[in-house]
Amino acid sequence: MKNEWPLWEIFIRGQHGLAHRHVGSLHAPDAEMAIKNARDVYTRRNEGVSIWVVEARHIAATAPGDKGPLFEPSESKVYRHPTFFDIPDDVGHM
């Protein structure tokens, strides 16, 4: 059996951060050790208040080749950015 420690991706929410951000990865035998090591490596200088670890094999990602079909069409959908409606001054702030 292959005894290489699996790879974990590390996400940290900063002191004033609203969301967890991906900061890097590390090898560890299990989640508990992954958290311990992430604490030592990635939060040594007050970088965070919360850590998520996820084994890398559980992450699915979009393919670079899908960039066009997935994301480009939204550029033509101006109605998703409805910043151009004039509201009469009389109505006040909306």
Partner 1 sequence: MYAQMIKTANSGVKPREEMSDQERAFQDKIDADIKIEPRDWMPDDYRRTLIRQIGQHAHSEVVGQLPEGNWITRAPTLERKMILLAKVQDEAGHGLYLYSAAETLGESRDELVRLLHEGRMKYSSIFNYPTLNWADIGAVGWLVDGAAIVNQVALQRTSYGPYSRAMVRICKEESFHARQGYHAMMKMAFGSPAQKKMAQDALNRLWFPSIMMFGPSDSESTHSEQSMAWKIKVKSNDELRQQYIDQTVPQIEYLGLDLPDPGLKWNAERGHYDFSEPDWSELFDVIKGNGPCNTDRMNARVKAWDDGQWVRDGLMAHARKKAARQHAAE
Q: Which of 19, 60, 63, 94 binds partner 1 (CB under 8 A)?
A: 63
Q: How far is the CB of 15 from partner 1 (least distance, A)?
A: 17
Beta bridge partners of 12: 21, 51
61 makes contact with partner 1 (CB under 8 A): yes
94 makes contact with partner 1 (CB under 8 A): no
Return the H-helix or E-strand segment holding 33.
Answer: helix 31-42
Count, in order, helices (H) and strands (E) of the chain: 2, 3
For partner 1, the binding residues in 10-49 under the rule CB under 8 A are 24-27, 29-30, 33, 40-41, 44
**Pair of tokens at residue 29:** 């035998």
Amino acid (1-letter code) at residue 94: M
19 versus 63: smaller Cβ distance to partner 1 = 63
